[in-house]
């Protein structure tokens, strides 16, 4: 028997809602800009009111509260998107549809999609990094979405600066953290032009690779994943991957054993569908439980 499942990839810029099956196959989808909660959720409800879904997987921008024992479980918490601060997202969904839910981050569901159907297939421990407007990290450990006291915020680790780089950084919280130095807006602000206008040989990509390689080193030494998968708009610059691998090797200095680099630091395979596919697959899991 095939079950009809729902997915919501709730991004800071846009929402994607979809229905599909347990294999993550998308049957119908809609996307719309992220506005205020009242305006955005009206569109969410208009879509799902048409489909008798049995479970919904939600991957949301954050930070969010994923601790079921917390009084603010299901909330978007301290987001810079002020209209969504302390918004009870999951509560609003449950009030509308009394069904099963998976509630996690947008990066986690993208990582889960890749684990099940993309570059992480056959791997037990999959670390997913999105590099776009911001930088986020999701981790699947032995087939389970990683949950600590909260979810990883690996985009805000501190870095050693490249020699000569005095760019202040774009993160409003930390300035020169990974997101502050290497997210899309940082690349553009440092270079003075849009990333897609830079030549593949521009030194900006050497700088970017240096910071992403440091992140890979930190993630390797802390999470020990089987694969590090990069997605997001910045990582569509194919020249970044050989640069990151080379700099990562230099930084690691043979300290721990690592797999074949060409298969260890890789590009997302599902492209822009990774997140919504992961939402559907997470919904299938929670229905199964």
Q: Which domains does the chain have, with CATH numbers?
A: 5-105+272-288 (3.30.420.40), 119-268 (3.30.420.40)
- Whether 151 shows a pLDDT value over 90: the answer reads no
Residues pairing with 60 in the sheet = 10, 105
Is 139 exposed, middle or buried (CB count within 10 Å of its CB: 0-12, 13-18, 19+)? buried
Lowest mean pLDDT of 140-154, 188-202, 230-244, name the range. Answer: 140-154
Work out the mean pLDDT of the chain and round it to a whole number.
95
Model confidence over 65-76: pLDDT tens digits? 999 999 999 999
Which spans in 97-140 are helix H?
106-117
- Whether 1 shows a pLDDT value over 80: the answer reads no
Which spans in the chain are helix H?
37-48, 89-96, 106-117, 178-182, 184-191, 203-223, 240-252, 261-264, 274-288
Q: What is the mean pLDDT of residues 246-262?
A: 94
Pairing, β 125-131 against β 75-76: unpaired
Q: What is the mean pLDDT of residues 267-280?
A: 97
**Is pTM, for the whole model, over 0.75?**
yes
C-alpha gyration radius of the chain: 19
pLDDT band at 79 (very low <50, low <70, confident <90, very high): confident
Token pair 């700099």 in the structure block, residue? 247
Q: What is the pLDDT of residue 152?
A: 85
Reference 85, options 28, 120, 42, 36; nearest CA is: 36
Asked if residue 184 lies in contact with residue 204, where contact means CB atoms within 8 angstroms, the answer is no
All residues at 6 or more sequence positions from 239 whose CB lies less than 8 Å from its CB, including other chains: 200, 201, 205
Q: What is the pLDDT of residue 78?
A: 85
All residues at 6 or more sequence positions from 105 whose CB lies less than 8 Å from its CB, including other chains: 59, 60, 61, 62, 64, 66, 136, 138, 151
Say whether 67 sits in a helix, a strand or coil.
coil
């Amino acid at each position: 028997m095939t079950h009809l499942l729902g997915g919501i990839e709730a991004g800071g810029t846009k929402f994607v809602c979809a229905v599909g099956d347990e294999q993550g196959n998308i049957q119908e989808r809609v996307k719309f800009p992220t506005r205020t909660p009242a305006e955005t959720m009206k569109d969410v409800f208009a879509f799902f009111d048409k489909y008798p879904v049995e479970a919904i997987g939600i991957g949301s921008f954050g930070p969010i509260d994923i601790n079921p024992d917390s009084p603010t479980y299901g909330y978007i918490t301290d987001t810079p998107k002020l209209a969504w601060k302390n918004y009870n997202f999951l509560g609003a969904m449950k009030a509308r549809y009394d069904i099963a839910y998976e509630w996690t981050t947008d990066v986690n569901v993208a990582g889960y999609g890749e684990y099940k159907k993309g570059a992480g297939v056959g791997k037990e421990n999959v670390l997913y990094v999105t590099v776009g407007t911001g930088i986020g990290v999701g981790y699947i450990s032995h087939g389970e979405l990683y949950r600590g006291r909260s979810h990883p915020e690996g985009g805000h680790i501190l870095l050693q600066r490249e020699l000569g780089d005095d760019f202040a950084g774009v993160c409003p919280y930390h300035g020169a953290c990974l997101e502050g130095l290497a997210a899309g807006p940082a690349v553009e602000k440092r270079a003075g032009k849009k990333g897609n206008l830079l030549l593949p040989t521009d030194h900006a990509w050497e700088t970017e690779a240096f910071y992403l390689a440091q992140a890979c080193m930190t993630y390797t030494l802390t999470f020990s994943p089987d694969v590090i998968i990069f997605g997001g708009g910045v990582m569509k610059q194919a020249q970044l991957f050989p640069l990151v691998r080379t700099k990562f090797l230099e930084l690691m200095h043979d300290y721990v054993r690592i797999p074949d680099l060409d298969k260890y630091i890789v590009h997302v395979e599902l492209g822009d569908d990774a997140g919504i596919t992961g939402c559907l697959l997470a919904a299938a899991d929670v229905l199964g439980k």
